[in-house]
Each structure stands twice: as C-alpha cells, then as structure tokens.
Structure 1
Amino acid sequence: MSPLLETIGLTRHFKVGTGLTRGVLHAVDDVDLAIGEREIVALVGESGSGKSTLARLVAQVHKPTRGEIRYQGQPLTTQRGRRAKLAYRGDVPMVFQDPFASLNPAYRVSHGILRGLKLHRPELSGAERQAEAERVVEAVGLTPAAEVLSRFPYELSGGQRQRIGFAQALAHRPKLILADEPVSMLDVSIRIGLLNVMADLRETEGVSILYITHDIAGARYLSDRIAVMYGGHVVETGP
C-alpha cells in the first residue's frame, strides 16, 4: 500500500543577506519522509533544524527548491486550479504553535470553524454547519459545545484555544493534520491532555498526524514512528 503522503528529495533553500554578504540558507535538504493512513509520525529536532519549514512545504506555504511531494500517490505538481488546491488544503490542514495564530480575536470561536465549513464543505446547510461545528468542538474535548462556540478567544485558556485549532482543522474532514509544536506554548500539566486529544482523533476520525516537536518524550508517548531532523536533513527514523 502506498503512503498517504511522501516527500522525495524535498529541498528548500532561502536566499539571505544582500550584496557581498548574500548567501543561501539550506533550510531543508533532500528529505525523504512517508506518512501512512491513520499513522502518527513525530518529527523531532532542535530549533532551526528545518522541522517547521518542512511542514510549510507540505502545506504548500512554501514552494520547494527541488524534490517532490506525493499525496495519495500523485505529485502535487499535477494539481491544477483553485478547486484542487482548496481540496488539498482541506485534506491537509495545519495547526500552529501559537493558538492565537489561527483565531481572530475580533470574532467568536464559532467564526473560524463555520467559515472553514462554508469554504471546504459548501454542500452543508446553515443548520448542518452549526451541528458539525458543535460536533468537532466536542470531539476535541470541549463541552458544552454551544457555549464554547459563543465565546471569544480571550475567554479561553491556552489549552482550550489550541483544542479549537484542532477543531477548526477537523471541520474540513482532513486526511492528515500538520501539528507544528502544538503543545510547546502550554503548561506542562495540560500538555498530556492535548496529546491524548491527538491520539483520540486518530482513532475516532481516522486522521494521520505529522507531529512536530523538540520533545522526544512526548513524541515517544504519541507517535508510531519518529523521524529525527538535524541541519535540514532527516538523519534517522525508527519506531
């Protein structure tokens, strides 16, 4: 069986400096990584090793300098048009390190979830969108869902805001969630709860997860496989 997503020789270089100090930063170099269906893969490494850049390449925030990303056996370069790109971004959403990065403080929590549902699942009626918003909020362990949806982000704790980030991703019916250090800004006492949420989502929703972290203990607790990244390279992988 082919992997859900794989990178083949994936590389991203950035030009840095100007004039005589101009150079090239090798952020990601020749990375081969595969993620199977319903699999949690942890990508660990020190700060600056290229973990987040790799996730942004997979999310199509950055274009690769060279190499290839295959999704469901097909290169992403074959995707043409807005509809195909929108479908991929619904299938492979990203949850950011800072929960405020995905929540607009001027709107209630329901805004981001309902907006995503309208964009990625236009076949749903208004009532169906509201019901689905409540379902995904409950799926990440926040109840009562209707009350949570009516709050503003500042009324939630850091852990609750991060759970809403996962709820927003879950509303798209994703195949793979890119979780970029989602627990690093949370108190140690509540990190385990969010790790358990990710494990539950794999079981109940059937999603795969790329879990990016510098915490090897957390990676060992959650993931099926660990890939170690150093200096832009994946230097080791194992169960």
Structure 2
Amino acid sequence: IMREILKIKKLNVAINDKLIIKDLSLSINQGELVALMGANGAGKSTLVRVLLGDDTYQVKSGQITFFKKDLLSLAPEERAKLGLAFVWQQAPAIKGVELFTLLNLIQEIHDGDYDYQLADSLLFREINANFSGGEKKIAELVQVLNQNPRLLIIDELDSGLDIENLKIVLTALKKELKKKNMALLIISHSGAVLEEIKVQRITILRHGELICQSRDVKKMLNTIKKYGYQKCESCQNCL
C-alpha cells in the first residue's frame, strides 16, 4: 500500500497580495520520486519556499499536511525535524566553521548515518568559502543526507555542476533514495537528470496552477522538449 506523506490541498499563495499559487493540490507518497517542472516564474520556487516555512509568502487558503501533521503551523526547524529537507541553489558560506564540524553536529541532532566519503576533500575547509559550484552542491548534499530526510526537495540539481561532479552526485543520491526509501521532489529543467534519477511522475506548473501530471515520464519529457510547456495546457493525458 502506498503511504501518502505529503498532501497539499487547494493551496493559494500570494506575495504583496499578488496571487502566485492558485488552487494547487498535490500529494507525494513514501519513496516516490516526483519532478516539478515549468517555465521560469511558474511558481515552483514559491511552492518550495512555502513548504519550508518562508513567511515572505502569504498562504491565503488551503492545507498542507506532512505525515498527517499541519505543516503550515510548524516553524521551519520543526519541519526539518519531521524529515523535510532541501538542497538550495545558492547555499550560504559559513566563515570559520569547517564542514567536518557541521556534519558531526548534524549527525548528532538527526541520528544520521551517512558517510562523508562524497565530500572527503572538502571536510577540513570552511563551509562554502571559495567552493566551486560543484563543491557547494556536494557539501550540501552530504549535510542534507545526514539529516535522515523523509522527503528531500532539490532545486536544479545540475546547476553549477560539471559532468564529472554531476555523475558523482547522482550516484550518491540514487543510492540513498533507494536505501532509505526516501521521497523526492525535484525541480528541474533537465530531462537527462530526471531520467537518470528515474522519476516516476512529472507535474507541470504554469502561472501558479498545476496543469498536468503524468507517469509517462519519457513521453512527457519528449513533448516538453519539442513543444515547450504550452502544449501541457491542452494535454488530455493527465493522471
């Protein structure tokens, strides 16, 4: 039986009274790998920020539950404790703190068991200080995997990563997703990354509305590649 862990119901979100997310409903099951796609400005990042508890955005109406708890009533750190984790596109630098120190702290708090091998060469450097794009992504992924997440949200996994580092990150990620039966919500424009991770469902946002979702990942990616997201509005093949 598929266990639903995240449920978003009729969500409406505004910033400065301008509605950005409109009547959005979406659910994710335990261990399910879901991609969120859409043109820039479609509302993808807004949705993620609301899930994480960014109060810049006003939730006008709707509900979000995570493991049957009302997510909107929880502080960001409480959401993290419940198992919601996020890999940022722009991670901050922390001067004077070595990555190794932070990882040990995270392991203690979250009872993590992920090994640091992926970030071997970065362990005794200050966090994100003079890190390349790829190093930042690797450092952050190791931090996040040590939080024992139950739902991992990743924004543009391949941004700033060269082919070599992308391979390393993808291999590590796939292994952990499988081992921990972790759910994934990945925001991406890259069909190659989504196929490599083997996402099971693609959802499309357009102007703040969820206009289409499909489990026929290959067909969906080919259609978007060929016609762009406009085609999704008239698509009849939704779940």
SS of residue matched to 1:4: strand
- Indicate yes or no: 2:102 matched with 1:112: yes
SS of residue matched to 2:147: coil
- Cα separation, 2, equivalents of 1:106 and 1:233: 43
Q: Which amino acid aligns with 1:116?
A: I
- Indicate yes or no: 2:51 matched with 1:58: yes
- Indicate yes or no: 2:68 matched with 1:89: no
SS of residue matched to 1:56: helix
Q: Structure 1 residues 136 and 35 mapped into 2: Cα distance closer, same or farther (>3 Å)? A: farther
- Cα separation, 1, equivalents of 2:163 and 2:59: 35
Q: Structure 1 residues 28 and 220 mapped into 2: Cα distance closer, same or farther (>3 Å)? A: farther
Q: Which has the higher helix share?
A: 1
- Indicate yes or no: 2:204 matched with 1:228: yes
Structure-2 residue corresponding to 1:18: none
Q: Structure 1 residues 48 and 173 mapped into 2: Cα distance closer, same or farther (>3 Å)? A: same
Q: Structure 1 residues 12 and 136 mapped into 2: Cα distance closer, same or farther (>3 Å)? A: farther
Shift in Å, 1:59? 1.3
Structure-1 residue corresponding to 2:232: none
Shift in Å, 1:38? 1.1
- Cα separation, 2, equivalents of 1:38 and 1:4: 9
- Indicate yes or no: 2:116 matched with 1:137: yes
SS of residue matched to 1:61: coil
Q: Which amino acid aligns with 2:60?
A: T
Equivalent in 119, 123, 135 of residue 149 of structure 1: 123
- Cα separation, 1, equivalents of 2:42 and 2:203: 12
- Cα separation, 1, equivalents of 2:178 and 2:213: 23
SS of residue matched to 1:173: coil
Q: Structure 1 residues 235 and 225 mapped into 2: Cα distance closer, same or farther (>3 Å)? A: same
Q: Render the CA deviation track for 1:155-213: whole Å, top value 9, x for unaligned.
A: 64422321221111122211011111232232355434323332222112321111011
Q: Structure 1 residues 64 and 2 mapped into 2: Cα distance closer, same or farther (>3 Å)? A: farther
Structure-2 residue corresponding to 1:197: 172
Please say if residues 136 and 170 of structure 1, whose CA atoms lie closer than 8 Å, have aligned partners that are also in contact. Answer: no
Q: Structure 1 residues 183 and 107 mapped into 2: Cα distance closer, same or farther (>3 Å)? A: same
- Cα separation, 1, equivalents of 2:164 and 2:77: 37
Q: Which has the higher strand share?
A: 2
Please say if residues 228 and 236 of structure 1, whose CA atoms lie closer than 8 Å, have aligned partners that are also in contact. Answer: yes
Please say if residues 159 and 194 of structure 1, whose CA atoms lie closer than 8 Å, have aligned partners that are also in contact. Answer: no
- Cα separation, 2, equivalents of 1:48 and 1:163: 27
Q: Structure 1 residues 49 and 184 mapped into 2: Cα distance closer, same or farther (>3 Å)? A: same
Q: Render the CA deviation track for 1:2-22: whole Å, top value 9, x for unaligned.
A: 41111111121111xxxxxxx
Q: Which amino acid aligns with 1:64?
A: V
Q: Which amino acid aligns with 1:89?
A: A
Q: Structure 1 residues 189 and 5 mapped into 2: Cα distance closer, same or farther (>3 Å)? A: same
Q: Structure 1 residues 5 and 66 mapped into 2: Cα distance closer, same or farther (>3 Å)? A: same
- Cα separation, 1, equivalents of 2:138 and 2:34: 19
Using the size of structure 1 for normalisation, the TM-score is: 0.76
**Per chain length, whose mean CA-contact separation is higher, i.e. which structure has more relative contact order (CA < 8 Å, sep 6+)?**
1
